[in-house]
């Protein structure tokens, strides 16, 4: 499906994957994350196949898919602490409060996620992303359910990540502008 795909990203760069619904964007991102099998070729990280260094690669990877991967029966704080722990870190309470405030969720830390709007849930997921120390962010439709202010916050978050030497791969059906960071573009065409 993605034969002869070659993209080499360097620190501070990002790849924008575009195409119509159902063309395979999510499938490609799942392969990049090691969540789906690759029929041909390989994905390299630091010059080695991700298959031979799964643990090291996953420490360097933060994936945000279509769903927010939040536990609805847990509070906002519990979700952030859990997701941060999955990334091998412990959530610093002051830092968590700061990130929640930055994303418009101040005072909602003890609220159950099930009581949040879809946009607020997305913002909780973005808080987890903001606390991640992963070098590679793989974001599948990260702007889903985001209002204009949220879109600006996410664009700023990605720009800061890139300016710090991070990498990003993302899909979106919306026009994506990340400050002064021009993307590498991969447009997947239907068969």
Q: Which residues contact 138 (CB under 8 A, 6 or more apart)?
A: 29, 32, 33, 61, 62, 63, 64, 168, 169, 170
Considering the four listed CATH numbers 1.10.4100.10, 3.40.50.300, 3.40.50.150, 3.30.300.30, the one that applies to the domain covering 14-187 is 3.40.50.300
pLDDT in tens, the chain (191 residues): 454 455 678 889 999 999 899 998 999 999 999 889 888 888 888 888 898 999 899 999 999 988 888 999 999 999 999 988 887 888 788 889 999 999 999 999 999 999 999 999 999 999 999 999 999 999 999 988 888 898 899 999 999 999 999 999 999 887 788 988 999 888 888 88
pTM given for the model: 0.90
């Amino acid at each position: 499906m993605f034969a002869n795909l070659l993209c080499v990203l360097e620190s501070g760069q990002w790849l924008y994957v575009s195409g119509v619904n159902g063309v395979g964007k999510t499938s490609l991102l799942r392969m990049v994350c090691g969540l789906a099998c690759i029929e041909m070729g390989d994905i390299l990280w630091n010059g080695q196949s991700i298959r031979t260094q799964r643990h090291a690669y996953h420490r360097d990877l933060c994936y945000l898919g279509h769903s927010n991967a939040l536990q609805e029966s847990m509070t906002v704080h519990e979700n952030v602490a859990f997701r941060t722990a999955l990334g091998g870190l412990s959530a610093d309470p002051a830092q968590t409060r700061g990130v929640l405030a930055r994303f418009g969720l101040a005072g909602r830390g003890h609220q159950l996620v099930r009581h949040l709007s879809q946009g607020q849930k997305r913002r909780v997921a973005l808080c987890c992303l903001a606390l991640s120390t992963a070098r590679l962010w793989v974001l599948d439709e990260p702007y889903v359910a985001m209002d204009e202010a949220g879109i600006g916050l996410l664009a700023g978050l990605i720009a800061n990540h890139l300016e710090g030497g991070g990498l990003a791969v993302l899909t979106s059906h919306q026009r994506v502008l990340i400050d002064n960071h021009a993307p590498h573009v991969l447009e997947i065409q239907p068969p």
